[in-house]
Structure 1
Amino acid sequence: MEPGDDVWRYLWEGYIQTLGFSPYHLPPNAPALLPYRTEWWSQINHLDVSAIYPPLTQLGFRGLAAIAVSVLLFKLAFVAADLLVGWLLSRRFGPSNAILYAWNPMVIYAFAGGAHYDSWFILPLVAAWLLLEPPEDRVEGRRWLWSSLLLGLSIAVKWISLPLLAWLMMRSLRQRTLGRTLWIAGLGSLPMGLSALVFCRGGTCPLIPTSSTFVSHGRSAEFIPHWVAQVWPASLQANWIYGIPLAVVVLWLLLRTNTLRQFTDGYWFGVFLLSPIVHFWYFTWIVPFAVPSQNWGVRWLSLSSFVYFVLPHACPTGDSPPPSACCCGCPLSWGGCGPWGTPLRQSQAALIKNLGTGQLWSTNMLHNRGIAYADSRLAMLKPTALTLMVTIALLSGCSSASLVSQRETSTPSAATPASATRLSYDDYATVLATYVDEQGLVDYRALQANPQPLTQFIDRLGAVAPDTYAAWSDADQIAFLINAYNAITLQSIINEDPLKDSIKDIFGVWKIKRHTVAGQSLTLDAIEHDILRQEFSEPRIHAALVCAAQSCPPLRQAPYTGARLDQQLEDQVRRWLASPHGLQIDRDANRVAISAIFDWFGEDWQPRYAVESGFTGNGKQRATLNFISQYVSPEQRAYLLQGDYTLDYLDYDWSLNRQ
């Protein structure tokens, strides 16, 4: 299956190191790197952000890139570390217990499928834990020395492990061994310090990337920060504040826990609750520590988080689904692909049935699936072989069913052929003409009283056949998706009675609630970020997608159509920038203020509008200003181009765009 977009950054940062550049000092869109851009350069996420991964990880990327700049090679390196973790757990706790990790679908997907490097930091972390807490019949001895170094390696690969070293130092202080504590601190800092020296330039050495805009105000599947933002919107720009309660949690755990495993369990729990950035593969961190107890909470958490984050599209049922429609990332619980797909899918019903009987991933269930353990070696071989088998399947090119994959397998022409069925926008046109005024504001009360035309249109969105969508031109697909996003947003608002004051008051409106669009189950975020932004190089969509807030671009009084899309987008950009929510130029105060949308998604303008001189700010800001300058008067363009002004982002008004 296709990997996540992080792997393209791994490849890029390893690749430019082989050319003599530092990924900490040059973001991917740096002008100095322009001659070295690859054909997959545009797939790198956050093009204006320099490296955030610790230095030892960067050296690992460099070593792999020196061999080959290959996704397959990077995946194999991550899988190798994953298999070693399974081997360590099996040696200590036995193969039947290690199954919780070795056969976990989330673990398999994260490393073999998604190509995330977290197995590199999990390996030394698990090794340190097993050394620190030996079997009862063994004396600890000087295991703390090796554990300190292993924890240091884990920190130098992913700095999130840092508090675990603090726990080891605290334990040593409790034993009143100051000398040992100093040794622990030194050995734990050694890998990070030595690997950082390689990248030290201009008197600075990269450690924790506190200056990264992604670290400072990025958001992904957060829990407590989401609710805080509902009552305190300013917190969206201050991720650092969550370090305070997390520090309190860490301090409490340092004082109250007696084993590294106890501390780690509590620490990961605190991170998942308090972190503004949570990705599904983070849950692989807790799985090894659940192996000794076969913890049911971790079993359910790992499966549920896997399903939530990895399966945005429904898997087909039946014995022979099309290859493009099978979910390769979930071979054990939801069906497989390639030559192993049929037997795996045949066990799907039994696995789901076992969900209700409390047997998921248990030894009894695996025995019932026909897996008998003749001896410990054979038992360990089977999960390892299965992991390798699934890895091969994941690397064989299957992908999940989605509008994205359908578009990639089609070759639409510049204009949709007459034979391709067009969707009628008549009902939606009636809604827009009736309930949207010239300022783009909506009469939600009146629309709420007469929702039938909107409901009928949204029903037709779901009834569009995937093959029909794939046959449309790019322009028709973009118009369809913009209309779908805006119509579903309208429906999301009027479904609330009484109406909410802000769309942000509707739980899960962007990330959780799903809607059928062209036969696929999609969230609003999936339409915007996974399809429109990823599959079409068209930054003007940000002027057309209307999130039902006052600071959003105005909603048009007519649907977008493929035949008139370019003209409509041009007009929409001009309307947006002419409004006080899009652009404000105050020459007396020597200040330019632009929509926060240009801050949130500025990288979307860089491939087409990046410039090396003129304007002001960093690469992302210059690209957005270059774009804006093409929609203003010649005098304003000249002013923007000279760059001698302060650039600010406008405060975003999330109150409802109602009349």
Structure 2
Amino acid sequence: MYLLMKRICLLLIIALSLHSCNLLSAAGITSGGQPTKETPDKLTSTTANSAENVDHSAWDALLKKHVNADGMVDYKGFNKDRGALNKYLTQLSSYTPNSDWSVQELLAYYINLYNAYTVDLILNNYPVESIKDIDGAWTRSIVPVGNKKLALGGIENGVLRKMNEPRIHFAINCASMSCPKLLDEAYTAGKINEQLDRATKEFINSDKNEIGKNSVKLSSIFDWYKKDFITTETPTIIDYVNQFSTTKINAGASVSYKNYDWSLNEQ
């Protein structure tokens, strides 16, 4: 009887463990086996050091056509160009990124992958008032990469966040008003550092934050992902923001966070 109870307990522990692993995967924490190179402290833009150079020109053309300077998206226009979008998505998904790709190529690939499949998700559910109205928007495995399928949350949390480049938070767009704007050009390895800097500066100095010398009200992004911005060089959120803010914040300034507007970023 004792041995039987012990065996039942062991089976329950294993079952709970497997269930927990499934929950972690569903929450988009795992990388799905994707390569996650660490970004160097001084990232340079280059296409010269990679086994693969992905052509993102099709996505670039679509963004220039359907995204305005404020990052607002013409989803109806995107829908009319569904053939071109589907062709680009198929192209992206045909790749199997590996460790022979440079960190520049990996960053550009996964940022574009996230953004393009987010637009696709909205179109598949259009009309919709908010991405949060879509069941499993970030947890369902809807993004094919090679012979695997990833969740949008997996691309963000399991891949991009593990690459030690906090500026990715201002490059990926969650189709919402409080999100960093969708850049009207594709990210590329040849411009990645300058593009990440541009996205970060524009977001921090936009109305998504209220920055004064002695008091700041920041986007909730800085609260949700606080640990990504804290390093030995930037030990506080203020230190990180001051690298890009046109208004320099005093060290003892009070910090609070704004409510997040999840309504659709539609023109």
Give TM-score scaled by structure 2 length. 0.86
State the match for 1:102 in structure 2: 10
Alpha-carbon separation, structure 1, partners of 2:202 and 2:25: 38
Aligned match of 1:440: 71
Q: What is the aligned counterpart of 1:493 among 87, 111, 122? A: 122
Counterpart in the other structure of 1:641: 250
2:144 to 501, 506, 516: 516
1:537-571 alpha-carbon deviations (Å, 9 max, x no partner): 11111111111110101111111111211111111
Q: 1:456 & 1:525 partners in 2: Cα distance?
A: 23
Richer in helix (by share): 1
Partners of 1:547 and 1:586 lie apart in 2 by 27
**C-alpha separation in 2, matches of 1:585 and 1:475:** 31
Answer yes or no: is 1:650 the counterpart of 2:258: yes
Aligned equivalent of 1:296: none
Equivalent position of 2:96 in the other structure: 465
Structure 1 residue aligned with 2:156: 528
Are 1:432 and 1:559, in contact at CA under 8 Å, matched by a contact in 2? yes
1:375-394 per-position Cα deviation (integer Å, ceiling 9, x unaligned): xxxxxxxxxxxxxxxxxxxx
Name the CA distance, whole Å, in 1 between partners of 2:24 and 2:93: 22
Q: CA deviation at 1:625?
A: 1.2
2:140 match: secondary structure: coil
Q: Deviations over 1:595-636 (max 9, x none)?
A: 11000001101125433xxxxxxxxxxx22111112233xx2
What's the counterpart of residue 41 of structure 2? none
SS in 1 for 2:99: helix
Alignment of 1:232-631 (within 5 A): 283=16, 305=19, 308-309=22-23, 402-404=33-35, 417=48, 420-466=51-97, 469-497=98-126, 499-534=127-162, 536-581=163-208, 583-586=209-212, 591-611=215-235, 623-631=236-244
Counterpart Cα distance in 2 of 1:429 and 1:438? 14
Count of residue pairs the alignment pairs up = 258
Distance 1:519 1:465 in 2: 8
> Are the aligned partners of 2:238 and 2:251 in contact in 1 as well (CA < 8 Å)?
no
Distance 1:531 1:401, change over 3 A: closer
> Which is greater in Rg?
1
CA distance in 2, matches of 1:481, 1:566: 15
Alpha-carbon deviation of 1:578? 2.1
Instruction: Call closer, same or farther: CA 1:641–1:477 in 2, change over 3 Å.
Output: same
Q: How does 1:190-201 map to 2 (within 5 A)?
A: none
Q: Structure 1: how far apart are the matches of 2:138 and 2:65?
A: 26
Q: Could you tell me which residue of structure 2 aligns to residue 632 of structure 1?
A: 245
Letter aligned with residue 257 of structure 2 = Y
Is the contact made by 1:512 and 1:523 (CA closer than 8 Å) also made in structure 2? yes
- State the Cα distance separating 1:419 from its structure 2 match: 7.1
Task: Give deviations 1:100-128, integer Å, cap 9, x for gaps.
Answer: 44346xx34xxxxxxxxxxxxxxxxxxxx
TM-score, with structure 1 as normaliser: 0.37
Q: In structure 2, how many angstroms separate the alpha carbons of the residues matched to 1:511 and 1:591?
A: 36
SS in 1 for 2:111: helix
Q: Offset at 1:500?
A: 0.9
* Gap change, CA 1:559 and 1:608, over 3 Å in 2: farther
* Residue correspondence of structure 1 range 165-184 to structure 2 within 5 A: none
Q: CA deviation at 1:418?
A: 6.5
Gaps of 5+ in 2: 39-43
- The structure in which a higher percent of residues are strand is 2
1:276-318 CA distances to partner (integer Å, 9 max, x unpaired)? xxxxx8x46xxxxxxxxxxxxxxxxxx6x36733667xxxxxx
SS in 2 for 1:647: strand
Whole-angstrom CA distance in 1 between matches of 2:234 and 2:195: 24
Structure 1 spans left out of the alignment, 5+ residues? 1-89, 109-280, 285-302, 313-399, 409-413, 612-622
